[in-house]
């Protein structure tokens, strides 16, 4: 009732302010919606100079109730919810004669995913057949499992042929060569683990490890294992994961791009790491004839220490443990397509990590799975229905404005030598921008040709997922036989991503259609809000090209040391300030400190991106004149810019998810993505008259760009 009365009063205030001073107030539908959103979101009673995050987001944090099936609510999830409903309507529409084949495939997959009754009856049967095809499940079969028939390399080959994850022991990536992005290279790397390196180091003392151990035991019992035996087997499996984690690099160590680039021919690889017959291994994983590798084929080793010890680790580990390890991964990867009895046990584990008490509705999960499985088809069907092409043009102008401001920042930077500075300017000028979607998504023939070899025959969703996985891997591996085309429309970020990205390998930023909505962008509201919204993210992605990792790539996206020593030292000193600033933050809700070293790239990009967007907005005002205010709000357009920036991160998160994600996430928690950068900007303090020494205007400030 209180919220209803407040909203009614809000509408009256907005209408009255429009009536009283229409020349000074923006009264477009977009401005009215924006004003309503800001008023409902902020806590204007607080001092913006004490805690701007609480000032801009306080009411949202107080009033938002996280649904039982969600781990957090934010502008990203709100935009995602809107997108989800749009896609649901498109996916669930009947298949018609007018549908092009990619849309038929997409709808067929969604309908199969939604057939929960068939999954309850046949899902486990189909998965058991698959497990038996892979050699069985030792933890269930006990002494009846044939250990002599298992070989870890042969197991990897079976996984690849069956459209399953073959990267459990050695990760194989197909990516542009880090020093020559015009060619595609094979990368060998350490695998991704289900649990964090730090969690595994603590072992049974860690709550996440304990919950994971209990999950595997219970899953094994549901599959038919004896519980006492399952506990013994899972204990051995956890010890194996700890060994693998100990041999792996930390996320902080892997921020050094140069250390990850270790090119060699397969012949040289064989000499350096002789215990694995690499030519056989790679050809059985790659499979495609046109991608047949020879002893002269070049690969790059991302994690040399890991590759040097993994075979010894595998030889010393029981075959039962290795087989259990991959089968657990297989059955858990199909969690969506098994009976609820098993799914509910997975939900309990997810609840430990995220705090969510319920699973999202079936339709929501199937929308997400369909979108991920058909990135191009889903992007195409979405933009044809829901994206305004005019947004491409207006956001493109913003990209040019913000890029120009970053170039000006480079020109005025005193700690860079002239040669390094000019190279940086050239790189900034060369950044390509891909906004909204690729035009080829509207070309029926090109889209149809892309999916020409994919067939979904009537059957189980498990078979559909496997077929799509094989299709995707074959397309990826086929790139080995071609020169990499950075303009290839198929490599763009999906238009359905509520996100943005910097692609270092080609020096480009990508702003998908799905993020051009909600608090991030609207064509009929103040530009102050747009520059503080999507403009901030544009600047963020541009700055990624010059953060601790992106700066090591040249104008073409190739790994190159183009920094003079003194300039390099100056950058490291400024980055150290950012690292120390954020390392001194501890999240007040869960009392977990931020890892300033792990998050430095995102923090540098946040600080730079907001500054560039602010300067670009000021330049826009000089060209176009001052903007009006929003109805019902006293704040100037410049103040609204900062409020818009903060509103991008108004987030209510479950404590369980916050506590488990902070140590692993390269991004700082939402609160500090506002408090950190804004406390470093004199412009912010001036616009809100924050006295020097206040929390938002500390005497000591950090600045890289």
Report the C-alpha gap between 331 and 216 in whole angstroms. 11
Maximum distance among all Cα pairs of the chain, rounded to whole angstroms: 85
Q: Helices marked H in 594-705 — which ranges?
A: 600-624, 637-647, 655-661, 672-678, 682-687
Measured in whole angstroms, the distance separating CA 645 from the mean position of its chain's CA atoms is 20
Report the C-alpha gap between 568 and 548 in whole angstroms. 10
List Cβ<8 Å contacts ≥24 apart for 239-244: 240/313, 240/317, 240/321, 240/322, 240/325, 241/193, 241/194, 241/195, 241/200, 241/325, 242/200, 242/201, 242/203, 243/313, 243/317, 244/190, 244/191, 244/193, 244/310, 244/313
Show the CA angle centred on residue 206, arms to residues 204 and 209, nearest 5°.
Answer: 70
Measured in whole angstroms, the distance separating CA 607 from the mean position of its chain's CA atoms is 20
Cα atoms found within 13 Å of the Cα of residue 130, Cβ hemisphere only: 27
Q: Measured between alpha carbons, how far is residue 377 from residues 390, 446, 470, 510 in Å?
A: 22, 11, 17, 18
Block residue for tokens 């050699």: 135
Q: Measured between alpha carbons, how far is residue 456 from residues 106, 112, 134, 575 in Å?
A: 10, 10, 22, 50
CB burial string 85-113: b at 16+ within 10 A, e below = ebbbebbeeeeeeeebebbebbbbbbbbb
Q: Yes or no: say if 546 and 416 are a contact pair by the CB < 8 Å rule.
A: no
The values of phi and psi at residue 493, to 5°, are -60, 140
User: Annotated catalytic, 239?
Assistant: no
For 293-437, where are the E strands, in sequence order? 298-301, 432-436
State the sign of the Cα–Cα–Cα–Cα dihedral 380, 382, 384, 390: negative
Which of 417, 582, 580, 434 has the alpha carbon at shortest distance from 495?
434
Q: Yes or no: say if 346 and 332 are a contact pair by the CB < 8 Å rule.
A: yes
H-helix or E-strand spanning residue 63: helix 52-63
Question: Would you tell me how many other CB atoms lie within 10 Å of the CB of residue 576?
Answer: 14
**Helix, strand, or coil (residue 107):** helix
Active-site residue, from 54, 541, 548, 612: 541
The values of phi and psi at residue 435, to 5°, are -115, 135
Report the C-alpha gap between 496 and 473 in whole angstroms. 21
DSSP 458-519: SS-HHHHHHHHHHHHHHHHHHGGGSB--TT-GGGSPPTT-SS-EEETTTTEEEEEGGGSSTT
CB burial string 544-556: b at 16+ within 10 A, e below = bbbbbbbbbbbbe
Question: Would you tell me how many other CB atoms lie within 10 Å of the CB of residue 372?
Answer: 12
Residues contacting 121, CB < 8 A, separation 6+? none
Active-site residue, from 72, 547, 606, 687: 606
User: Annotated catalytic, 541?
Assistant: yes
Which residues have a catalytic role annotated? 541, 606
């Amino acid at each position: 009732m209180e919220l209803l009365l407040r909203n009614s009063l809000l509408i009256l205030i907005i209408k009255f302010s429009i009536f009283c001073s229409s020349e000074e107030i923006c009264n477009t539908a977009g401005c009215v919606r924006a004003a309503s959103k800001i008023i409902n979101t902020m806590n204007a009673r607080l001092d913006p100079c004490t805690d701007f995050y609480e000032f801009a987001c306080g009411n949202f944090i107080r009033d938002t109730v996280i649904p039982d099936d969600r781990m957090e609510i934010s502008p990203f999830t709100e935009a995602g919810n809107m997108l989800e409903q749009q896609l649901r309507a498109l996916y669930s529409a009947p298949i018609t004669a007018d549908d092009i084949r990619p849309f038929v495939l997409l709808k067929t997959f969604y309908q199969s995913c939604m057939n929960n009754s068939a999954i309850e009856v046949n899902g486990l049967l189909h998965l058991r057949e698959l497990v038996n095809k892979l050699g069985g499940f030792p933890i269930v079969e006990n002494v009846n499992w044939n250990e002599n028939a298992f070989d870890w390399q042969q197991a990897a080959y079976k996984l690849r042929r069956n459209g399953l994850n073959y990267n459990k022991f050695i990760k194989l990536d197909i990516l542009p060569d880090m020093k020559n992005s015009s060619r595609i290279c094979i990368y060998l790397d350490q695998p991704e683990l289900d649990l964090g390196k730090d969690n595994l180091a603590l072992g049974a003392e860690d709550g996440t490890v304990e919950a994971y151990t209990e999950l595997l035991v219970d899953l094994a019992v549901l599959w038919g294992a004896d519980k006492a035996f399952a506990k013994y087997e899972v204990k051995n499996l956890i010890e194996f994961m700890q060994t693998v984690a100990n041999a792996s690099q930390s996320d902080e160590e892997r921020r050094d791009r140069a250390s990850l680039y270790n090119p060699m021919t397969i012949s040289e690889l064989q000499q350096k790491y002789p215990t694995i017959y690499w030519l056989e291994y790679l050809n059985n994983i790659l499979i495609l004839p046109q991608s047949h590798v020879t002893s002269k084929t070049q690969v790059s080793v991302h994690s040399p220490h890991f590759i040097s010890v993994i075979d010894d680790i595998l030889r010393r580990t029981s075959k039962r443990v290795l087989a259990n390890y991959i089968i657990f991964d297989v059955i858990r990867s199909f969690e969506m397509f098994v009976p609820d009895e098993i799914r509910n046990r997975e939900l309990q584990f997810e609840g430990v990590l995220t705090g969510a008490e319920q699973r999202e509705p079936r339709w929501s999960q199937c929308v997400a799975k369909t979108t991920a499985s058909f990135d191009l088809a889903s992007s195409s069907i979405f933009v044809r229905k829901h994206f305004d092409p005019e947004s491409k043009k207006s956001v493109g102008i913003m990209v040019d404005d913000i890029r120009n401001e970053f170039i000006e920042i480079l020109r005025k930077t005193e700690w860079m030598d002239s040669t390094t500075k000019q190279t940086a300017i050239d790189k900034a000028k060369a950044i390509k921008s891909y906004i909204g979607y690729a035009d080829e998504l509207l070309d029926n023939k090109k889209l149809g040709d892309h999916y020409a070899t994919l067939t979904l025959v009537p059957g189980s969703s498990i078979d559909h997922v496997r077929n799509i996985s094989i299709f995707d891997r074959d397309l990826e591996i086929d790139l080995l036989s071609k020169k990499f085309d950075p303009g290839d429309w198929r490599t763009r970020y999906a238009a359905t991503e509520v996100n943005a990205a910097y692609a270092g390998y080609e020096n480009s930023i990508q702003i998908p259609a799905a993020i051009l909505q909600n608090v991030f962008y609207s064509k009929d509201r103040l530009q102050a809000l747009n520059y503080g919204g999507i403009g901030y993210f544009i600047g963020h992605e541009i700055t990624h090209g010059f953060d601790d990792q992106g700066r090591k790539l040249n104008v073409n996206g190739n790994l190159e040391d183009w920094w003079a020593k003194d300039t390099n030292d100056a950058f490291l000193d400024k980055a150290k300030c950012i690292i120390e600033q954020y390392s001194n933050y501890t999240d007040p809700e869960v009392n977990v400190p931020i890892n300033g070293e792990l998050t430095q790239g995102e923090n540098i990009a946040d600080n730079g991106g907001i500054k560039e967007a602010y300067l670009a907005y000021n330049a826009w005002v000089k060209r176009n004149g001052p903007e009006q205010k929003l109805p019902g709000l006293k704040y100037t357009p410049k103040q609204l810019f900062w409020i818009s920036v903060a509103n991008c991160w108004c987030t209510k998160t479950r404590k369980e998810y916050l506590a488990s994600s902070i140590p692993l996430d390269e991004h700082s928690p939402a609160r500090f993505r506002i408090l950190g950068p804004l406390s470093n900007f004199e412009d912010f303090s001036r616009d809100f008259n924050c006295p020097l020494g206040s929390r938002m205007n500390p005497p000591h400030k950090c600045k890289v760009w």
